[in-house]
Structure 1
Amino acid sequence: MKTVLMILMLVAGSAAAQSKYEAAVLKGKDLLKAADDQEAYMGCANYFERIAQKESKEWLPLYYHSLSLTLWGTRETNPDTKEKVLNDALALVQKAKKIEKNSELAALEGFVQMMRLTVDPATRGQTLSPTIYALFGEAIALDPENPRAVLLMGQMEFGTAQFFGSGFEKACGYIQRAYDIFERTPDELTTLPTWGKGMAEASLAHCNQ
């Protein structure tokens, strides 16, 4: 009887700890969704860094820490600061991939590399483009219904088409597909990544111009 009670207490304690962790991640997701400038993204990065330090076996805090820095990088105008922020983001997502390999992490790593390319497109285009396409391809292969992977592939194709002055049909096909996946994905409370629908809508608007 004592053994059964001890097991039940351990299970209850583990569930409570997991609930605190999940609540912390959900709070961070809300902070990240509301962020709209570098300072706010920095705050999100610091928040998820603290969670990652406590939950060293979990990949999601590292994922959101990296995502916070990447989104900061999209707003940063100082090339040196942007480079540092994105390099930190890359190190974090690669650390997370040592814990688990999945579609979301592959897509995020591709996103980070895509933003690193924008720091110096003329120099980095040839070297980074194959890596970025490979990462997005890996993400889609791991989960064809991951709208973030499909959307980011579409954005990469769009940028490539702009650079070479070619058509946007392929890019917009990916973007439309990503939007459709977002549309049929039910809203639910989850610690897993759900971001990107607004980005898909904005990208689709460019396709429809």
Structure 2
Amino acid sequence: MVRVISALVLLVCTTLSAQSKFETGMQKAFALWGENKSTEAAAMFERIAAAEKTNWLPYYYVALVNTTDAFQTQDKEKIAALLAKAQEATDNALDLSPDNAELLVMQAMIHTAWIVADPMTNGMKLSGTVNEIYAKAMKIAPDNPRVVFQKAEFEIGGARYFGKDIKPMCAEIERAVGLFANFKPETQFHPNWGKERAEQALAECKK
């Protein structure tokens, strides 16, 4: 009996230790990102992903950090390197969680970054794919605020390019703002970003 109890205590302690390492690592990675140390943050998320082989979240943040950086530079070689890392991480995450609306949004964002980097080459090639990804994400999670907002924001870009009315997309952005107000992430580490951007986009719609 003592041996069984000792084994259970060891198992619980090991589990708690693993959880603690994950939580500590994630918090440190977020802190680095908050300090604008995106390279260090991405590296930390990569190390966590290597240790947490069945958890899609670290891979998601590797992709999100790198894609965010890709949107903020015009250096073509740097963009290609960042988006290659983001794509690899997203592929790994989707292997773990295939029908995940958050990951579909992430994939659409990677394609959008390629379009922004080179509209003439990638616009026609990838726009249809992005629309298909958002349509799939909407079927899975029609009330996820990031799905609603990112889809509408992408569609506004296309509508403005072709001189079309953006009112329907603005209505969806307004809906997204409402969804953000009531959104509760599953854990402290699940995606919970986009509210401020949606509010800014809505303000632009009303100008």
Q: Counterpart of 1:179 in structure 2: which amino acid?
A: V
Structure 2 unaligned spans of 5+: none
Following TM superposition, the consecutive aligned residue runs of length 4 or more in structure 1 with deviations greater than 3 angstroms are: 186-189
Paired residue for 1:191? 189
Paired residue for 1:31? 32
In the TM superposition, what is the alpha-carbon distance from 1:19 to its structure 2 partner?
2.4
Paired residue for 1:56? 53
Q: Counterpart of 2:69 in structure 1: which amino acid?
A: W
In the TM superposition, what is the alpha-carbon distance from 1:12 to its structure 2 partner?
2.9
Q: Counterpart of 1:93 in structure 2: which amino acid?
A: T
Match of 1:135 among 114, 120, 133: 133
For the residues of structure 1 that align with 2:48 and 2:109, how far apart are their CA atoms?
22
Name whichever of 182-191 and 140-149 sits farther off: 182-191
What TM-score results when the alignment is normalised by the length of structure 2? Answer: 0.90
What TM-score results when the alignment is normalised by the length of structure 1? Answer: 0.89
For the residues of structure 2 that align with 1:30 and 1:203, how far apart are their CA atoms?
26
Q: Counterpart of 2:88 in structure 1: which amino acid?
A: A
Q: Counterpart of 2:175 in structure 1: which amino acid?
A: R
Structure 2 CA distance for partners of 1:34 and 1:182, relative to 1, 3 Å:
farther
For 1:1-209, what aligned pairs fall within 5 Å after superposition?
1=1, 2-35=3-36, 40-101=37-98, 102-186=100-184, 190-209=188-207
Q: Is the 8 A contact 2:59 2:90 kept in 1?
A: yes
Q: Report how many residues are paired.
A: 205
In the TM superposition, what is the alpha-carbon distance from 1:141 to its structure 2 partner?
1.8
Please tell me the root mean square deviation across aligned C-alpha atoms, in Å: 1.9
Q: Is the 8 A contact 2:74 2:117 kept in 1?
A: no
Name whichever of 110-119 and 6-15 sits farther off: 6-15
For the residues of structure 1 that align with 2:27 and 2:140, how far apart are their CA atoms?
25
Q: Counterpart of 2:130 in structure 1: which amino acid?
A: I
Q: Counterpart of 1:12 in structure 2: which amino acid?
A: C
Percentage of pairs with the same residue: 31
For the residues of structure 1 that align with 2:187 and 2:25, how far apart are their CA atoms?
13
In the TM superposition, what is the alpha-carbon distance from 1:83 to its structure 2 partner?
2.3
For the residues of structure 2 that align with 1:26 and 1:189, how far apart are their CA atoms?
13
